[in-house]
Chain A
Amino acid sequence: MEEVQNGKSEAVYDELNDPAFVNLSSPPGIPSDRGGGKTFLFGFLNAFPDSRFTIDDMIAEGDQVVTKKTFTGTHTGEFAGIPATGNKVTLQFVDIMRVRNGRIVEHWLSMDQLSFMQQLGVIPTPGQDARDPT
Chain B
Amino acid sequence: MFRRRTRGRTRKAALLLTGLSAAVLSVVGLRRRRTKGSPMADSKTIVRQLLEDPWKGNWGVIDEYLAPGYIGHDPSQPQPIRGIDGLKANFQQYIDAFTGAHITVIEQIAEDDVIASRWTASGTHTGEIAGIAPTGKDVTISGITISKLEGGRVIEEWVNWDTFGMLVQLGAIPMPATA
Contacts and interface: CB of A to CB of B under 8 A. Distances in A.
A110 B173 contact: no
Interface in B97-143: 107, 109-111, 114-116, 118, 130-131, 142-143
A57 interface: yes
Contact of B146 (A25, A27, A94): A94
A68 interface: yes
Contacts of A64: 109
Contacts of A61: 109-111
Contacts of A116: 164
A29 B160 CA distance: 22
Contact of A59 (B107, B114, B131, B161): B114
Contacts of B175: 28
Given A59-B114, A94-B158, A113 B109 contact: no
Interface in A22-69: 25, 27-30, 57-62, 64-66, 68
A1 B125 CA distance: 39
A28 B109 CA distance: 27
B163 A94 contact: no
B128 to A, nearest CB: 13
A12 interface: no
Contact of B160 (A60, A62, A110): A110
Contacts of B143: 110
B75 interface: yes
Interface string A104-125: 0000101111111100000100
Given A61-B111, A68-B146, A108-B118, A29 B167 contact: no
Interface of A: 25, 27-30, 57-62, 64-66, 68, 80-81, 91-94, 96, 108, 110-117, 123, 126
